[in-house]
């Protein structure tokens, strides 16, 4: 007798292993607008929200986080707004992501250095550390200035230009 196998539903992108939060995406986009503004020019939160299609109430919290992290500074008043607190080539994408989401890579809510594996899993720690190093090498070496100018670091450009980067690999079998 043949029993049909259950078919897994299509993968849910919200449950992806590696996921950039909306908050991090919005924060980087807001920081890029500040980086693209002429040196020292203030950018209103309203103009960022409109240009980047970010909910204004959500953006306010993001800009507050960027200010607290020393990435942005603000000025109140009719002519107020936000600008970068330091040059765009001194702010990495990792800095922005950490400002709003905390550390870049965790395994079970722990840093890889806090994990302990035994037996057949002993080597897994090295995989998690390598993953963290890979993510960090892209996000820490990519500055706001390099994104705005299109001059990504060579290894980041190579990864971005790989046509298979957004394709899911075929299952091994």
Q: Which residues of 47-64 are buried (b: 16+ CB within 10 A; e: fewer)?
A: ebbeeeebeeeebeebbe
Q: What is the pLDDT of residues 16-71, one digit of tens each?
A: 567 889 999 999 999 999 999 998 899 999 999 999 999 999 999 999 999 999 99
What domain range includes position 147? 21-161
The CATH number given to whatever domain includes residue 146 is: 1.10.10.10
* Ramachandran angles phi, psi of 153, nearest 5°: -55, 145
Q: What is the pLDDT of residues 80-128, one digit of tens each?
A: 999 999 999 999 999 999 999 988 887 777 777 788 888 999 999 888 8
10 Å CB burial of residue 115 (0-12, 13-18, 19+) is: middle
User: Is 7 inside any structural domain?
Assistant: no
User: Is 9 inside any structural domain?
Assistant: no
Helix 22-36 × helix 93-101 angle, to 10°: 140
Q: What is d(CA 94, CA 24) in angstroms, rounded to the nearest whole number? A: 10
Q: What is d(CA 109, CA 111) in angstroms, rounded to the nearest whole number? A: 7
User: Is 45 inside any structural domain?
Assistant: yes
Is the Cβ–Cβ distance between 100 and 24 less than 8 Å?
yes
Looking at residue 5, what is its pLDDT? 46
Residue 9 in this model has a pLDDT that exceeds 70 = no
Q: Which two tokens stand for residue 131?
A: 């993953």
Residue 13 in this model has a pLDDT that exceeds 70 = no
Q: What is the pLDDT of residues 155-166, one digit of tens each?
A: 999 999 998 887
* Dihedral over alpha carbons 124, 126, 131, 132 (to 10 degrees): 120
Task: Give Cα separations from 18 to 70, 131, 151 (angstroms).
Answer: 27, 10, 25
Enter the pTM of the model: 0.83
User: Is 128 inside any structural domain?
Assistant: yes
User: Is 167 inside any structural domain?
Assistant: no
Looking at residue 47, what is its pLDDT? 96
User: Is 1 inside any structural domain?
Assistant: no
CB neighbours of 144 closer than 8 A, spacing ≥ 6? 31, 32, 34, 35, 84, 88, 89, 91, 92, 93, 96
Task: Taking residues 2-10, report their average pLDDT.
Answer: 50
Looking at residue 1, what is its pLDDT? 47
User: Is 77 inside any structural domain?
Assistant: yes
Counting the structural domains of the chain, the total is 1
Q: What is d(CA 23, CA 59) in angstroms, rounded to the nearest whole number? A: 9
Q: What is the pLDDT of residues 67-81, one digit of tens each?
A: 999 999 999 988 899
User: Is 169 inside any structural domain?
Assistant: no
């Amino acid at each position: 007798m043949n029993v049909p196998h259950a078919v897994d539903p299509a993968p849910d992108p919200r449950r992806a292993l590696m996921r950039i939060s909306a908050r991090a995406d919005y924060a980087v986009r807001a920081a890029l607008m500040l980086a693209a503004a002429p040196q020292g020019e203030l950018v209103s939160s309203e103009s960022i929200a409109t240009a980047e299609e970010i909910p204004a109430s959500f953006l306010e919290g993001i800009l507050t986080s960027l200010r607290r992290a020393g990435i942005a500074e603000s000025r109140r008043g009719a002519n107020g707004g936000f600008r970068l607190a330091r040059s765009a080539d001194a702010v990495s994408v990792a800095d922005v992501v950490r400002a709003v989401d905390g550390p870049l890579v965790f395994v079970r809510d722990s840093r890889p250095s806090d994990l302990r594996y035994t037996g057949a899993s002993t080597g897994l720690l090295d995989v998690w550390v390598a993953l963290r190093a890979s993510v960090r090498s892209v996000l820490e070496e990519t500055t706001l200035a390099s994104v705005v100018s299109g001059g990504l670091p060579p290894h980041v450009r190579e990864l971005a230009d790989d046509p298979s980067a957004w394709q899911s690999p075929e299952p091994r079998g």
